[in-house]
Chain A
Amino acid sequence: MALGGIVRGKRTTLRTPTEDDLASYSRWMADLRVRRAGRIWHEPAMPATWKERLKEQAKEQRVVLWSIETEGRLIGMARARLGSLEGPPGAHLQNLIIDPEEWRRGYGWDAALALHRYFFDYLDLQRSGIELNADNSAALRIAAKLGYAEFGRGHEVYYRDGAYVDEIWVVIQRATWDERWAKIEREYAPFAAAR
């Protein structure tokens, strides 16, 4: 469960991560632009440590990791906790990182939309939540477009660049996804029509 399978967007594809991806992961986690935008997945490390992390990730029961590529080129990664024991079954998107050299090309939006289609159209989850830095306007725009709504704002949560930044907690409910996206974002055609 813990290494994600193929989820196709229009311009990006989320796919199973491999050891070949890890050098890029390490480079992104060391990039101050990435670190300023939000949470990273582990600190930069030697290749052997990254291989060990990937092995550990594969053992995770509920947290799934994907690499993101476009035209066969690795451009990012996503990681989400899926399911819930006590609340409604949901996703918690922990990382969605796009290579800074590939920013402002719409890849983040495309991958996010595909990933949420997987959450709601394939896994039948009831909601998804994220915490976002209050000054990450690109991520906030994507979240708002998907249908996320704010339910909390932590004050002065993260320290970076000489100051603290707030953190905005957002959630999208299944009903919002259905209303906004279910008619156009289906992975499969209706079964009867396909036969």
Chain B
Amino acid sequence: MLGPRIVGDNGIELRPPVLEDYHLFRTWGLQPEVTRFWGPRFTDQTPATAEERLKKDLEGRTLVFWSIAYQGETVGLTGIFDINWVSRDGETGIFIGRHDLYGKGIASEAVRLRMAFIWYELGFHRTHNWIALANQGSWRANQKSGYSQFGTYPRSWYRSGEWFDEWLGEAFPHTFPPHKVPSPWRDESTRNDGVNGAETVQ
């Protein structure tokens, strides 16, 4: 399924992807500036197959997928994939396709919004992810919303003469910082005197 719109701080929001976004996703994945730790830099997608891909994601029962928008413009994607509905676990991922926007906190905010949806709307028990150990920006963005490292996968990526290990992360509802609960969940918990579990909202 495509995730609903969730408005965050600093002009950042998650929103359901539209067809134009899928054209962006495809071209981003082919750029050297943003693929140091992302994929093989080739694709089986063409402009003609974008709609088919969107339909597949829309109908998918084991994923929730968003575009990340910054000041109204689509700049990345995030989601939860390979969902195990019995164990209520899934793999999360995030990709910022605009390297000129790195360092602006977009990933941290997108992760915060995504994790709030996963805990408060999907009722998950756990999520996990894999991130290149050298990609500190990405795993730190996840750490801020409750992820911690549970292992290190050796020699996962080869780039320019170096092997890079992978940071294996996991998160649980109780590791999500209560003061980071975004609206509307923060507002609802305030209205309900904290019955939704966000008693320490600041």
Flag whether A171 is at the interface (Cβ < 8 A).
yes
The answer on a CB contact under 8 Å between A156 and B172 is: yes
A-B contact count (CB 8 A): 53
Q: Would A153 and B150 count as touching, CB distance under 8 A? A: yes
Docked Cα-Cα span, A169 to B168, in Å, equals 10
In the complex, the answer to whether A151 meets B153 with C-beta atoms within 8 Å is yes
Cβ-closest chain A residue relative to B170: A154
Task: Tell whether, in the assembled complex, residue A155 and residue B170 are in contact, meaning their CB atoms are under 8 Å apart.
Answer: yes
Residue contact B151 to A151, C-beta cutoff 8 Å: yes
Q: Describe A's contact surface by its main secondary structure.
A: strand
Pairwise interchain contact B158-A87, C-beta atoms closer than 8 A: yes
User: Interface extent on B, as a size class?
Assistant: 20 to 34
Interface of chain B residues 61 through 112 with chain A (CB within 8 A): 84, 86-89
A181 at the interface (CB under 8 A from B): no
Asked if A106 is an interface residue, CB under 8 A from chain B, the answer is no
Q: Please provide the chain B residues from 105 to 149 with a CB less than 8 Å away from any CB of chain A in the complex.
A: 125-126, 128
B27 at the interface (CB under 8 A from A): no
B155 at the interface (CB under 8 A from A): yes
Closest to B168 in A: A152
Residue-wise interface mask of A (147-176) relative to B, using a CB-CB cutoff of 8 A (1 in contact, 0 not): 000011111111110001000010100000
Q: Is B157 an interface residue (CB 8 A)?
A: yes
A159 and B86 within 8 A (CB): yes
Alpha-carbon distance between A159 and B86 when the two chains are bound, in angstroms: 7
A86 within 8 Å of B (CB atoms): yes
Asked if A85 is at the interface of the complex by the 8 Å CB criterion, the answer is: yes
Kindly list chain A residues whose C-beta atoms are within 8 Å of the C-beta of B40: 85-86
Known contacts A152-B150, A155-B150, A158-B87; A86/B157 CB under 8 A: yes
B154 at the interface (CB under 8 A from A): yes
Interface residue A88 (Cβ < 8 Å from any Cβ of B): yes
Give the complex CA separation of A154 and B87 in angstroms.
Answer: 13
A169 and B158 within 8 A (CB): no
Are B86 and A88 in contact, with the CB atoms below 8 A? no
Is the CB–CB distance between A164 and B151 below 8 Å?
Answer: no
Name the one of A86, A88, A157, A160 contacting B89, with C-beta atoms under 8 angstroms.
A157
Q: Does B189 belong to the interface (CB within 8 Å)?
A: no
Indicate if the CB atoms of B153 and A164 lie closer than 8 Å: no
Residues of B within 8 A of A159 (CB): 86-88, 125
| CB closest chain-B residue, reference A153 | B150
Say yes or no: is B190 at the interface (Cβ < 8 Å to chain A). Answer: no
Known interface pairs A86-B157, A171-B154. Does A154 touch B125 (Cβ–Cβ under 8 Å)?
no
Chain A positions within 8 Å of B84 at CB level:
158
Contact with A along B180-196 (1 / 0, CB 8 A): 00000000000000000
Residue pair B157, A87 in contact (C-beta under 8 Å) = yes
Check if B157 sits within 8 Å of A157, measured CB to CB. Answer: no
Min CB distance, A150 to chain B, in Å? 8
Question: In whole Å, how far is A187's beta carbon from the nearest beta carbon of chain B?
Answer: 27
Q: Hey, which chain B residues are within 8 Å of A164, CB to CB?
A: 87, 125
Residues of B within 8 A of A152 (CB): 150-153, 168
CA distance A160 to B87 in the complex (A): 8
B148-175 interface (Cβ within 8 A of A): 150-158, 168, 170, 172
Closest 8 CB pairs of A and B: A152-B151, A159-B87, A152-B168, A158-B87, A87-B156, A85-B40, A151-B151, A152-B150
Q: Can you identify 6 A-B contacts, CB atoms within 8 angstroms? A: A86-B156, A87-B158, A152-B150, A156-B125, A157-B128, A171-B153
Give 12 A-B pairs besides A85-B40, A87-B155 with Cβ atoms closer than 8 angstroms: A86-B158, A87-B156, A152-B168, A153-B151, A154-B126, A154-B128, A155-B172, A157-B87, A157-B89, A159-B88, A169-B153, A171-B154
